[in-house]
Amino acid sequence: MMLTIHCDDVKSIRHELAVYVSDQIGAIPTLKTSEFILSPVDDEPIDKDLAVTAIREYLESLGEIHNFDVVPVQNEIFIRSIAGKRLERGSKSDPGMFSCPHCGFLTKYEEEYHIHTRIHYL
């Protein structure tokens, strides 16, 4: 079972959110324009409740948990703004950090960043 997470209201953090949630629940993320899809690593179904919890944890780490609601519906999860305001935020990374545009990997070392990005082109 694949799980689709709709990120229309939090598009600016979609990459980082996909990386965080997939790491927490052990799934493979696939990024789309305004959503991401989590696919199971093996034939085990993805635990939707764990995904919802991971999304809420990430929003809480940004101080945005009170501004967004996480609504599971069948094999989809919708992240909706409570006040109708979208999250407009740059990358979560600190200045001097290098962030992979493909998967969200973060490092403070430029050489490590370049080595990492090469794996996406093998």
CA-closest candidate to residue 38, choices 56, 19, 11: 19
Max distance between CA atoms of the chain, in angstroms, equals: 44
pLDDT along the chain (122 residues), means of 10: 92 89 91 90 89 94 92 95 82 57 77 86 79
Please tell me the pTM assigned to this model: 0.72
Counting Cα atoms < 13 Å in the Cβ hemisphere of 81 gives: 11
Strand 76-81 and strand 3-6: the pairing is: parallel
